[in-house]
A and B are shown apart, each in its own frame.
Chain A
Amino acid sequence: LKDFLKNDYRIIAPIRSLVRRFSYFGLVLAAAALMLLGKADIFLVERVSVTITDSLAPILGVLSRPITSAKELGKQLRSLVSLHADNTNLREEKARLLHWQTVARGLDAENKAFRKLLNFKPPPESKFVSARVIGDSSGAFANSLVLNAGSRDGVEKGQAVVTEEGLVGRIYGVGSRSARVLLITDLNSRIPALIESTNTRVILAGNNSARPHLLYPPPGDALSLGGRIVSSGHGGAFPPGLPIGVVALINDGSIEVQPYVMRDRIEYVRVVNFGLMGILRAPDSEARKP
């Protein structure tokens, strides 16, 4: 056996050096080919990406937990300091909200009456999946999050991802136990939106900076600083009225929006199924459903 191994080595050694020389360029070509393939056939390459993320999700889940807990602890300590002030604020807010509750109840009753008059069919009820953020691409070129919920939890491609503050992004890759969120700040994000005060349609486009900007802004002075931007519901991706952000800067040619959701504060999110046919959903996914 020893002799065989020696001989074996003698044969293998030159082959190995040859392979090594070519493997480098082979791998460079493979990487370039993967990029081109990803551009041409999104599904196959995306599957690879989703599978890798999915298999590493448990590790990410464990690693992200202590950081979340530490942050939680810090929050608790800080809240202890501001306990008194918080209490006063909350009491004031409670009084204010009680007033709003009365108003909302009145409007609700009124709405119900009108709906009855119009034979209005209510939109399908939305379902939530709560998920923890276990990954955040820290690169300069990608703005996405990894969630610890996937297809087995009912997450599907194209669903909206929100926090209590507003829209975070949408699901664009789903594994069985993880999902990837394309943030509204990402270069590839385009969201049909409305300027709330004037009901003007715009497109909110990410550009990898912290503030997405508005495409196709209305001519004239329909815009003002601090104006609320909400989702418009066009294209069927999101329901209308999800808060997105406020107009933060108007320069000639570019209008920047400061999102309500601060990226570094996102720990838990809700993936929402509004029962809408998302623009991202594959046409056959409806047929596959029971």
Chain B
Amino acid sequence: MKPTVWQRLDGLARKITPFGLTFVLVILSVVPLHLPDFQRVGPGLSLMAVCHWAIYRPDLLPPSAVFLIGVIQDSLMGLPIGVSALVFLAVYGMVLSQSRFFSGKPFVIVWFGFALLAAGATLLSWFLVSAFNTTLANPEAALYQYVVTIGTYPLLAWFFLRWQRTYLLLV
């Protein structure tokens, strides 16, 4: 049976949610929270999102969307434009090339994989920012952010997995 217009619209709306959620996380990560010391070590929410969708539903977050998310993040954070885009694309490519490692594995393994990927992403960002400014960036804050990001990942992954089961099972 051919899907009706409404069914197709519904499907489309569901399909763009991975991009939408990732976009929302980019915005949320720059909203000032006024918590002491938090703003310096906020988790890399967008990195988690990009990584998650690359692992579970890369078809719903194409490279062009990853690129766009990166550029938006760079603009909002005042980073050199292209840094996050490059880092996200690298993570995305890495996940897709290692899709056998991730597919059907228990969450702890995925978490471990994410920890490795995030380490690579943090190192790459640090390298790119240092190269761009031709001076060594302070690695302390980056390390801190890395630890916070790893620690927060299960929470976000739980939410995303629930989202997938509820809205994305059939699209």
Binding site for B on A (CB under 8 A): 20, 23-24, 27-28, 30-35, 38-39, 45, 48-50, 52-53, 56, 59-60, 63-64, 67-68, 71, 133-142, 144-146, 173, 180, 182, 187-188, 207-210, 262-267
Distance from A187 Cβ to chain B, minimum over Cβ atoms (Å): 5
In the complex the two chains form, is A187's CB within 8 Å of B82's CB? no
In the complex the two chains form, is B81's CB within 8 Å of A48's CB? yes
**With an 8 A cutoff between CB atoms, is B110 at the interface?**
no
Q: Apart from A35-B80, A136-B33, A138-B39, what 5 extra A-B contacts exist at CB < 8 Å?
A: A35-B83, A38-B80, A56-B27, A136-B31, A265-B34
In the complex the two chains form, is B126's CB within 8 Å of A141's CB? yes
Binding site for A on B (CB under 8 A): 27-42, 44, 62-64, 66-67, 70-72, 74-83, 85-86, 89-90, 92-93, 122, 125-126, 128-129, 132-133, 135, 137-138, 140-142, 144-145
Provide a sorted-by-A list of 14 A–B residue pairs whose CB atoms are within 8 angstroms. Answer: A27-B63, A33-B82, A34-B81, A59-B27, A68-B32, A135-B30, A136-B32, A137-B77, A137-B79, A138-B30, A138-B42, A139-B29, A140-B141, A141-B142
Q: Given A39-B132, A136-B30, A49 and B74 touching (CB < 8 A)?
A: yes
In the complex the two chains form, is A144's CB within 8 Å of B39's CB? no
CA distance A137 to B31 in the complex (A): 8
In the complex the two chains form, is A144's CB within 8 Å of B78's CB? yes
In the complex the two chains form, is A32's CB within 8 Å of B137's CB? no
Best-buried of A32, A35, A133, A180 by chain B (most CB within 10 Å): A35
In the complex the two chains form, is B72's CB within 8 Å of A264's CB? no
CA distance A139 to B27 in the complex (A): 12
For A39, give the chain B residue with the smallest CB separation: B132
Decide if the interface of chain A is mainly helix, strand, loop or mixed. helix
CA distance A267 to B81 in the complex (A): 26
6 tightest A-B contacts by CB? A138-B42, A34-B82, A35-B82, A144-B78, A52-B75, A137-B77
CA distance A208 to B82 in the complex (A): 19
For B128, what are the chain A residues with a Cβ–Cβ distance below 8 Å? 35
Best-buried of A48, A133, A138, A173 by chain B (most CB within 10 Å): A138
CA distance A239 to B66 in the complex (A): 43
CA distance A59 to B66 in the complex (A): 21
